[in-house]
Amino acid sequence: MKLFVESAAVLAPGLAGWVASRPVLAGEQKYEPAPFVLPVAELLPAVERRRTGSTVKLALAAGHEALIAAGRSADSVATVFVSSGNDGDVINDICITLAGSDRQVSPTRFHNSVHNAPSGYWGIAAHSHHPSTSLCAFDWSFAIGLLEAATQLQVERPEVLLIAYDVPYPMPFAGIRRVDQPFGTALLMTRDSTQRSIAGLDIELDRAAKDLSRMADARLETLRVGNPCASALPLLAAIARGQPETITLQRNAGQTMSVSIRRPNGR
């Protein structure tokens, strides 16, 4: 399946947005992990900002960055949200409450516990009636989201915004589900090439699993393996380099898919 990327966003420790991160991902600059600063979710009205945690804020900030870079308005695109799990802070808090004696769950926490909470806040903030889906494929959620976005372009609509995010869980939840660092990314993808296309992609499912692509830089590789959605890093790095190459992502247990990156418009 062929598609084009108009813009990319990335938010992680030492990767503060695409413009600053592109030379790092391309290997032109050294990666320096810096403390992560969650950007202000400008898209969200202040009242909603107070109600939301780091997961929603990270997802919306990543999506917003990609939209701005593509010069598109928030209400103009359908969205695919992926994460390897629901908001860890919210689930942890609810489970602690339910294990106690009074079981008084906060109503806001409850509606923020759904996997599609970021998608819901996005719709409100973006005033978007476009379809939005929220998917999960455990550690392989990014690749499955990319596949879903590609099929939407193939059969349903000319552009789609993929937003992928995972943040560390608090204790004791972190004892059974480890995520090391926050990582958010977004890709604004189109069916046809446009003036703004930064890369062309061609996605194929592998019949037999191939070796996964890794990051050459040891600390970026640590970031990649420490957060499910950071499995996007080899793809982001290939887009940053802008040279034709093929990378391999895991899409399900024991299964992979290949993504060939090419220059847009045959340049």
Partner 1 sequence: MQPLFLNRYAIASSSAIGLEATVQALQNMRSGLAPCAFETVHLDTFAGQIADTSLAPVRTDLAQFECRNNRVAQLCIRQDGFEEAVIDARRQYGPDRVGVFMGTSTSGILETEIAYRSRDADGMLPRNFPYATTHNTFSVAWFVQSYFALSGPAMAVSTACSSSAKAFGNAARMIEAGLCDAAVVGGVDSLCLTTLYGFNALGLLSPLACKPFDRERNGISIGEAAGMVLLEKTSSGLKRDGIALLGVGESSDAHHMSTPHPEGLGARMAMERALNSAGIGRDAVDYINLHGTGTRSNDAIEGKAVHAVFGADIPCSSTKGWTGHTLGACGAIEAIICALAVQRGFMPGSANTSMPDQDIPVHYLLATRSAAVDIAMSNAFGFGGTNCSLVLGRART
The binding site for partner 1 (CB under 8 A) comprises 1, 75, 84-86, 91, 94-99, 103-107, 110-117, 119-121, 123-124, 126-139, 141, 144, 147-148, 150-152, 154-156, 171-173, 175-177, 205, 207, 251-255
Minimum distance, C-beta of residue 111 to partner 1, in the bound complex (Å): 4
Minimum distance, C-beta of residue 219 to partner 1, in the bound complex (Å): 26
CB distance 88 to 113 below 8 Å: no
Nearer to partner 1, 91 or 164 (CB): 91
Minimum distance, C-beta of residue 144 to partner 1, in the bound complex (Å): 5
Nearer to partner 1, 22 or 191 (CB): 191
Minimum distance, C-beta of residue 203 to partner 1, in the bound complex (Å): 9
Nearer to partner 1, 26 or 136 (CB): 136
Nearer to partner 1, 191 or 224 (CB): 191
**Cα 54 from Cα 83, distance rounded (Å):** 13
**Cα 135 from Cα 258, distance rounded (Å):** 20
Alpha-carbon distance values, 36 to 49, 64, 259 (Å) = 19, 18, 29
**Cα 241 from Cα 23, distance rounded (Å):** 8
Nearer to partner 1, 32 or 156 (CB): 156
> 32-41 long-range CB contacts below 8 Å, 24 or more apart?
33/219, 33/223, 36/11, 36/12, 36/181, 36/182, 38/11, 38/182, 39/11, 39/65, 41/125
Minimum distance, C-beta of residue 79 to partner 1, in the bound complex (Å): 9
Between strands 2-12 and 183-190, the pairing is antiparallel
